[in-house]
């Protein structure tokens, strides 16, 4: 799901250069375009840190290794996966991910 939040290659149909010129950033140039691209890069650095801090026992010395491994996995996924069509992404998130999240909520309610 982090790939979709970051808008990286499998889920970047809305801002893909080959699909619609330069995507949603076609209207921007100069400083605004730089700010948008810098924000996306900062999200690429901040979201893995948030994931590690929240789900992998806080931030400690081993967190740098976890961060590096997670960043390598994200970069490998971005560089090796093809772009997903919108109908494929909707089917994936409304099918498998919805079922998985409902099961997680049920397990949380049951307390196991």
The predicted structure's pLDDT at residue 3: 67
pLDDT digit string (tens) for the chain, length 112 residues: 666 666 666 666 666 655 555 556 667 678 888 888 888 888 888 888 888 888 887 778 888 888 898 888 888 877 787 777 778 778 888 888 899 999 999 999 998 6
Tokens 């949380």 belong to residue: 108
Alpha helices in the chain (DSSP H): 2-6, 31-55, 63-80, 86-92, 98-110
The answer to whether the beta carbons of residues 48 and 37 sit under 8 Å apart is: no
């Amino acid at each position: 799901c982090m790939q979709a939040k970051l808008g990286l290659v499998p889920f970047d149909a809305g801002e893909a250069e080959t699909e619609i010129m330069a995507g949603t950033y076609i209207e921007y140039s100069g400083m605004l375009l730089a700010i948008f691209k810098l924000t996306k890069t900062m999200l690429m650095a901040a979201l893995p840190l948030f994931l590690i801090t929240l789900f992998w026992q806080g931030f400690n010395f081993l967190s740098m290794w976890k961060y590096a491994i997670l960043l390598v996995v994200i970069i490998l996924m971005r560089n090796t996966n093809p772009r997903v069509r919108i109908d494929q992404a909707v089917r994936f998130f409304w099918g498998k991910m919805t079922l998985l999240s409902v099961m997680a909520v049920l397990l949380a309610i049951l307390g196991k």
